[in-house]
């Protein structure tokens, strides 16, 4: 029996043992040289021409696309000076065999909720900025994040796609005819100038770092296989502008000590600096690698 | 205005075990005015497509006090599922189901914490073997950095950030965490410490509740 076939047999028969031996030697099954490296990230912005803001991000084999569409609507009577953000994460059957057609899976719902919480906690977009005329007209920002290929780390990728789509987003200029009561209902007196567009002010830069804990070791940016075998998953979201903790998401799994929690935050801090820098430089296509951080 | 030492105290705890007749374990738990009923069925029969060879299948159902189930409930269910899966000895009962049903009655701050604590008490009442107990507390931080432990909705109005932590009983390690709002690293550590101290009181409360249950059962015989 040659070496090649015995390795693949070992992998097939004893997946956990195969995985464990990699981790013990400080390397990853997908070829990464360190447990704390993240996979290469490729970002391209403005890929969907019909959307008002869009981005595609590829992190290893995970591919996510985020599109933002704008709509006009009268503001909520209770919050007359605010707009709306509607965010949704979709994990369709085409991204992984574990998802079936029909109503959104539990994982998709949890990811949607997570993205919403990060939007709220970080205050990235002030809802007041989305108001055009108090009590009359506001923007509705529809954010759709879709997974095209699922290879782990849904939360990090979804959040990166969201952030990049927001940086790409431009709002057209809207002029409103004065003293008209039924402006919104009739829609006749609103002039949208699609030629003149302006960027939306972003007040923070939330960057997520997900980690899988396996045998007391922390694996940064886990793949789908690593997520399935891990004892617990932790996602730390930090604001790259202020360094504040925006989210520390740990949904059950095995327990971690406070020391380990600090270690996780420390690792996330190391990662976000590299990512934030690359995002700032993002033109049409940006490539980044964990090697750049060293 | 809460006084400094009062700020780090839990609201009154109340639990009544075994109040539902048809479940295998049940509890009515309240944390101040926040109340929740929890019932557990298990280990029971499992639907064939959910059957697992390596252990019990955990299912959680959390209903809002009114209206249809939304994303918020789904997110809480995901946290509870993770907690129950990691704390029960599921491998003792392969090809079975452990079904936890929760019905919040009144929401007055600390809803997730109350749901987590009720789940743990109901699992205890159900006598399912567990590797650890778990207890949860909510902490909030005001603008000027005051940490409040387990505030009611009214007390939490001034809060700019909230966090819910779940601790296990063996090493007092963190099982789950959930944040709302921004936390600086220092405030996060202070909040975590306050929650840890609070969780000790809850574990003590579990002990007393179970003691009371068994003393009653002994008297009846």
Chain A partners within 8 Å of B177 (Cβ): 248-250, 261
- In this prediction, residue B221 has a pLDDT band, given cuts at 50, 70 and 90, of low
Q: Which of residues 248-287 of A touch B (CB under 8 A)?
A: 248-258, 261, 265
CATH number of B158's domain: 3.30.230.70
Q: Residues near A172 by Cβ (< 8 Å), separated by ≥ 6?
A: A52, A70, A192, A193, A194, A195, A196, A197
Q: Residues near B47 by Cβ (< 8 Å), separated by ≥ 6?
A: B97
pLDDT per residue as tens digits for the range B181-202? 899 988 999 999 999 999 999 9
CB contact under 8 A, A252 and B75: no
Alpha-carbon distance A179 to A133, whole Å?
11
CATH number of A84's domain: 3.30.230.70
For tokens 């789940």, the residue is B119
What distances in angstroms separate CA B17 from CA A101, A117, A220, B119, B202, one per listed residue?
41, 34, 42, 11, 15
A241 belongs to a structural domain: yes
Reading the block at residue A15, the tokens are: 């997946």
Name the burial class of residue A281, with classes exposed (0-12), middle (13-18) and buried (19+) by CB atoms within 10 angstroms of its CB: exposed
From the list B74, B174, B184, the residue facing A255 with the nearest CB is B174
The ipTM, to two decimals, is: 0.85
Q: Residues near A176 by Cβ (< 8 Å), separated by ≥ 6?
A: A132, A133, A136, A137, A183, A189, A190, A191
What distances in angstroms separate CA A65 from CA B26, B49, B62, one per listed residue?
45, 32, 32
A2 belongs to a structural domain: no
| Gap from B220 CA to chain A (nearest CA, Å) | 38
Q: What values do phi and psi take at A152, rounded to 5?
A: 85, 165
- Per-residue exposure over A105-142, b if at least 16 CB sit within 10 Å of its own CB, e if not: bebbbbbbbbbbbbbebbbbbebeebbbbeebbbbebb
Residues A90-118, mean pLDDT to the nearest whole number: 93
Q: Which domain holds residue A57?
A: 28-283
Alpha-carbon distance A144 to A162, whole Å?
9
| Alpha-carbon dihedral angle through residues A267, A268, A270, A272, given to the nearest 10 degrees | 170
CB B156, CB B109: distance < 8 Å: yes
Name the 3-class secondary structure at B62.
Answer: strand
Residue A216: pLDDT above 90? Answer: no
Alpha-carbon distance A114 to A208, whole Å?
11
Q: Residues near A32 by Cβ (< 8 Å), separated by ≥ 6?
A: A39
Chain B partners within 8 Å of A121 (Cβ): 179-182
pLDDT of residue A38: 87
A58 belongs to a structural domain: yes
Mean per-residue pLDDT of chain B: 91
From the list A242, A245, A252, the residue facing B81 with the nearest CB is A252
pLDDT per residue as tens digits for the range B27-59? 999 999 999 999 999 899 999 999 999 899 999
Pairing of strands B13-17, A245-249: unpaired
In angstroms, how far is CA A193 from the centroid of its own chain? 30
pLDDT of residue A178: 63
Alpha-carbon distance B37 to B27, whole Å?
6
The total number of structural domains that make up chain B? 1
From the list B82, B167, B168, the residue facing A251 with the nearest CB is B82
Mean per-residue pLDDT of chain A: 87
Name the burial class of residue A269, with classes exposed (0-12), middle (13-18) and buried (19+) by CB atoms within 10 angstroms of its CB: middle
The total number of structural domains that make up chain A? 1
Long-range contacts of A275-279 (CB under 8 A, 24+ apart): A275/A41, A275/A160, A275/A207, A275/A240, A276/A205, A276/A207, A276/A240, A278/A41, A278/A43, A279/A43, A279/A160, A279/A163, A279/A164, A279/A167, A279/A205, A279/A207
A147 belongs to a structural domain: yes
pLDDT per residue as tens digits for the range B108-140? 989 999 999 999 999 999 999 999 999 999 999
pLDDT per residue as tens digits for the range A248-282? 999 888 889 999 999 999 999 988 888 777 777 66
Q: Which domain holds residue B35?
A: 4-220
| Gap from A291 CA to chain B (nearest CA, Å) | 27
Check CB contact of A217 with chain B, cutoff 8 Å.
no
Q: Count interface pairs A-B at CB distance under 8 A.
A: 96
Reading the block at residue A201, the tokens are: 């002010």
CB contact under 8 A, A255 and B85: no
């Amino acid at each position: 029996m040659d070496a090649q076939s015995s390795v693949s047999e070992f992998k097939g028969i004893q997946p956990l043992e195969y995985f464990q031996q990699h981790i013990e030697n400080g390397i990853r099954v997908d070829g990464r040289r360190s447990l704390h490296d993240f996979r290469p990230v490729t970002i391209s912005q403005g890929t969907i021409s019909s959307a008002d803001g869009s981005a595609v991000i590829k992190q290893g084999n995970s591919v996510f696309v985020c599109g933002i569409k704008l709509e006009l609507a009268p503001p909520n009577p209770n919050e007359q000076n605010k707009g709306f953000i509607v965010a949704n994460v979709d994990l369709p059957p085409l991204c992984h065999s574990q998802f079936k057609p029909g109503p959104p899976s539990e994982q998709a719902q949890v990811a949607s909720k997570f993205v919403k919480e990060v939007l709220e906690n970080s205050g990235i977009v002030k809802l007041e900025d989305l108001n055009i005329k108090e009590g009359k007209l506001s923007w509705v920002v529809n954010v759709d994040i879709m997974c095209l290929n699922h290879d782990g780390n849904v939360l990090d990728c979804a959040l990166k796609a969201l952030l990049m789509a927001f940086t790409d987003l431009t709002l057209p200029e809207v002029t409103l005819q004065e003293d008209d009561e039924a402006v919104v209902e009739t829609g006749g007196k609103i002039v949208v100038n699609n030629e003149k567009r302006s960027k939306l002010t972003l007040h923070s830069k939330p960057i997520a770092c997900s980690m899988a804990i396996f045998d007391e070791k922390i694996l940064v940016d886990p793949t789908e296989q690593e997520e399935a075998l891990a004892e617990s998953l932790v996602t730390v979201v930090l604001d790259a502008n202020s360094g504040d903790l925006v989210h520390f998401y740990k949904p059950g799994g095995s327990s971690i000590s406070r020391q380990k929690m600090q270690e996780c935050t420390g690792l996330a801090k190391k990662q976000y600096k590299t990512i934030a820098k690359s995002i700032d430089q993002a033109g049409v296509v940006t490539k980044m690698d964990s090697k750049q951080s060293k | 205005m809460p006084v400094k030492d009062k700020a780090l105290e839990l609201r009154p705890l109340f639990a009544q075990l075994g109040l539902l007749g048809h479940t295998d374990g049940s509890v009515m738990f309240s944390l101040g005015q926040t109340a929740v009923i929890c019932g557990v069925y298990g280990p029971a029969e499992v639907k064939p497509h959910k059957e697992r060879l390596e252990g019990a299948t955990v299912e959680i159902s959390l209903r809002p006090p009114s209206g249809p189930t939304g994303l918020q409930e789904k997110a809480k269910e995901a946290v509870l599922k993770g907690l129950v899966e990691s704390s029960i000895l599921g491998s003792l009962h392969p090809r079975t189901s452990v079904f936890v049903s929760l019905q919040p009655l009144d929401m007055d701050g600390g809803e997730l914490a109350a749901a987590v604590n009720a789940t743990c008490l109901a699992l205890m009442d159900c006598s399912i073997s567990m590797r650890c107990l778990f207890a949860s507390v909510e902490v909030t931080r005001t603008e000027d950095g005051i940490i409040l432990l387990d505030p009611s909705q009214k007390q939490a109005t001034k809060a700019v950030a909230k966090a819910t932590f779940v601790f296990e009983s063996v090493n007092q390690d963190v099982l789950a965490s959930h944040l709302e709002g921004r936390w600086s690293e220092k405030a996060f550590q202070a909040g975590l410490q306050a929650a840890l101290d609070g969780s000790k009181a809850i574990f003590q409360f579990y002990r007393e509740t179970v003691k009371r249950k068994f003393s009653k059962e002994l008297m009846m015989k």
